[in-house]
Amino acid sequence: MLYTGRHYLLGNAGDGRSSLYLGRYLALDGSQGAPVLLDVRKPHAVVICGKRGYGKSYTMGVLVEEFAGLPEALRRNFSVIVVDTMGIFGSMAGPGGIGARVFTPAPFLSEMPAGALPFEIPTGSLSVYDYCELLGIEPLSPHGAVLASAISESDTFSIESLIDRIHSSAASPGVTSAVCGLLSMASSWKLFSPHASFASLLEPGSINIIDLSGYGHDPGIKSCAVASLARALYDVRVRARRRENGSREVPLIWMLIDEAHMFLQPDSGAGRVLVNEWLRQGRQPGLSLVLATQRPSALGYDVLSQADVIVCHRLTLRDDVEALERARPLYVKEPVREALARLGNTRGAAIVVDDATESYHVIKVRQRKSLHGGGEPEIYGAD
Ligand SMILES: Nc1ncnc2c1ncn2[C@@H]1O[C@H](COP(=O)(O)OP(=O)(O)OP(=O)(O)O)[C@@H](O)[C@H]1O
């Protein structure tokens, strides 16, 4: 939409034609003013933070809805991929949704609404270090060496073929049985396949929800899925960028990750690829990242300072406020604590800090059009 009236465009200068409508400016008296938009002509690194229940996943959903609502010709530039750790974005698929597709690992497909698709990780997309991290093996131990040697035998392997290779190797029985036991556990997750590919996530204009909530008890498995996905998508866009000349071979990717602090530990595979490749180098290949978290302090200074847009809902923990204060750009004159006080208890209210325009605003994120799956469950039978 072309915005001729007064509006605030975050992330770039322009007329708002290629932008997502986030909400409205929120005045001190609680009244709402001019529209606030986020440009999508350039890639962005966005952090959405706030304490529990004040609107992080709701705001992420608004961004996804806005992508779905872009005019077809514009929308086809993008592929939107949501890493859904809590299973709350599935309502964007199916009736009353926005045409999103849900992908989930095979063991959880039967729990999903009809139409959900299998999510598999290509075995070759992970490094030896990733497998060691996933299985809790020290890479420089005899166990790590056995695993590394089995993986390096050929580019195409299944977890089951690794087990066979290790059984027929000269490794000691103790090491063999320990590593094969761990690999059998990984095989039971039904998450890996030598023939898997992420190509279907790259359909132009598609909105894809990767529901990993089934592995609720195990953050390591989710982290491994994110590492694999993030690395493969980075490689695809880097290669496409070299060949693209006036046309789009692979859509620009917006990856949105809820509960992002789980994936940004600097010593994890997911943390390394998200920080070193997506945040530091993602602009050139056209990769945008949206990270939502309750705990901005757990993201670390590096991540907060790399973000070019920060959307901060109500926050009360000292560590989190101080983390944002440390990353506060010079153009934000007001201390974060004072700015946050202006939000009060309003759900969906947020401070938005924007590097491109070197400005910050208090906004109220717009209401969702599709059902938000993240509200608290109701209590029945109380009356
Ligand atoms: N912009 C908004 N407009 C109207 N209501 C909102 C808005 N943002 C949030 N809410 C309300 O607040 C509730 C909680 O929001 P949300 O689920 O996004 O919380 P959250 O910050 O992601 O919490 P958690 O960290 O527990 O996941 C929503 O179910 C909705 O009712």
Q: Of the CATH numbers 3.40.50.1000, 3.40.50.300, 1.10.3720.10, 3.90.180.10, which one belongs to the domain with range 43-120+196-301+331-347?
A: 3.40.50.300
Residue 79 makes CB contacts below 8 A (sequence gap 6+) with 201, 202, 203, 204, 205, 206, 208, 251, 252, 253, 254
What span, in angstroms and rounded, lies between the C-alpha atoms of 120 and 117?
A: 10
ipTM over 0.95: yes
The arithmetic mean of pLDDT across residues 118-146, rounded, is 92
Q: Which of 135-139, 160-164, 175-179, 265-269 has the weakest average pLDDT?
A: 265-269
What span, in angstroms and rounded, lies between the C-alpha atoms of 50 and 261?
A: 12
Does residue 87's CB lie within 6 angstroms of at least one atom of ligand 1?
Answer: no
Distance 50 CA to ligand 1 centre (A): 10
Distance 380 CA to ligand 1 centre (A): 21
Distance 167 CA to ligand 1 centre (A): 51
Give the position of tokens 């075995």: 123
Q: Which of 12-16, 279-283, 286-290 has the weakest average pLDDT?
A: 12-16
What was the pLDDT predicted at 323?
94
Does residue 52's CB lie within 6 angstroms of at least one atom of ligand 1?
Answer: yes
Does residue 24's CB lie within 6 angstroms of at least one atom of ligand 1?
Answer: no
Q: Whose CA is nearest to atom 26 of ligand 1?
A: 52
Q: Are 122 and 235 in contact (CB under 8 A)?
A: no
What was the pLDDT predicted at 1?
63
Q: At what angle do helices 173-188 and 128-135 cross, to 10 degrees?
A: 90
Q: Are 49 and 56 in contact (CB under 8 A)?
A: yes
Largest CA distance in the chain: 74
Q: Count of CB atoms within 10 A of residue 345's CB?
A: 7
Q: Whose CA is nearest to atom 28 of ligand 1?
A: 375
Distance 203 CA to ligand 1 centre (A): 30
Comparing C-alpha atoms, which of 358, 381, 375, 349 is closest to residue 24?
A: 349
What span, in angstroms and rounded, lies between the C-alpha atoms of 370 and 57?
A: 13
Comparing C-alpha atoms, which of 290, 294, 374 is closest to residue 88?
A: 374
The arithmetic mean of pLDDT across residues 177-201, rounded, is 93
What was the pLDDT predicted at 349?
96
Does residue 55's CB lie within 6 angstroms of at least one atom of ligand 1?
Answer: yes
What is the per-residue DSSP string for 263-301? G--TTSHHHHIIIIIIIHH-TTTTEEEEEEES-HHHH-H
What was the pLDDT predicted at 246?
80
Does residue 85's CB lie within 6 angstroms of at least one atom of ligand 1?
Answer: no
Model pTM above 0.90: yes
